[in-house]
A = this chain, B = another copy of it.
Amino acid sequence: MPTPATSAAPIILTGDRPTGPLHLGHYVGSLRNRVTYQRDYRQFIMLADAQALTDNMDDPAKVQRNVIEVALDYLATGIDPAQSTILIQSQIPELAELTFYYLNLVTVARLERNPTVKEEIRLRGFERDIPAGFLTYPASQAADITAFKAVLVPVGEDQVPMIEQTNEIVRRFNRIAGAEVLVEAKALVPEIGRLPGIDGKAKMSKSLGNTINLSASADEVRAAVKKVYTDPLHLRVADPGHIEGNIAFAYLDAFDPEKEALAEMKAHYQRGGLADSIVKARLELCLQEFLTPIRARRAELEKDRGHVMQILKEGTARAREVAARTADEVKRAMGLSYF
């Protein structure tokens, strides 16, 4: 059986900042795609613990703790370590090394103009007191992408400028080196956008407290579904209801496998006469059916955390070989090789 993890297939880099458990939003926005990608691409999945520290330096233990939790989420949702290479960023010093050199290839003014960085600085309220590591993280991201010579990077629309910044660094480096040492990457923006939060906000996000975690218990799922935002104008069962902005239906679109029955249910809701409680009962059923096997696999994996760590160790070692080769090429191209 061909294993893309070591094949010559195009390389794709994905990953997460391990700052908390993954949720349904991660599943719809990325995990689901990764399970597909790993069949067609050589996929590297990075647990970006070092990057997570850029704004969690006051609680590094949280980051470390979540590395294995996120890995469990990966494995439970179908990431296959024989097909994907899961790696821990901090255990590959060559990524920091590449970052160090790329910092010479980008100006402070350019980093400050980066729309993604600008927005994140605003969101976090940093203003002028940004940690330098936060301002410079596009260089670190360029290191991650180029270290593995990834040609595809799945990102949200808002992260596209980061990929452009990486490619600027790639072009500048190759020009100086006088050779195509580094490879440009393409942003792969998934067609289906973000899953909204249970409160109706545009984004499901841990910091907004509006998530359903992949590791949620059956009771937690039930409680969350009760709180799911529907149509505030749908006051009586007989009233016509709205689908647009109705989170229950947004989730059903993502998780109800019976599309025909769902279409009928939507029509009924819009005509009037269908209670929210019925919609939510269907939603809960779908979510429980989706999450139960994930929860079971997770419980199985949790019994042997040593095995999970072994998977991470092997993936990281495999990834490090690739990154070390790139770092060596980069240093040689700059003439920084002596012995």
Contacts and interface: CB of A to CB of B under 8 A. Distances in A.
What is the interface residue range for chain A against chain B? 35 or more
A104 interface: yes
A128 B100 contact: no
A176 B50 contact: no
A108 B96 contact: no
Contact of A335 (B61, B133, B313): B61
Copies in the complex: 2
Most buried by B among A94, A99, A312: A99
Contacts of A278: none
A139 B106 CA distance: 17
Task: In the A-B complex, list the 7 residue pairs whose CB atoms are closest, starting with the nearest.
Answer: A103-B133, A96-B100, A64-B335, A104-B133, A60-B334, A96-B97, A109-B128
18 contacts: A50-B100, A54-B104, A57-B105, A58-B176, A60-B334, A60-B335, A60-B336, A64-B335, A91-B339, A96-B101, A103-B131, A103-B133, A104-B133, A105-B131, A107-B130, A108-B129, A109-B130, A312-B339
Given A53-B104, A57-B105, 7 more contacts: A50-B336, A58-B176, A64-B336, A93-B93, A100-B100, A106-B132, A108-B132
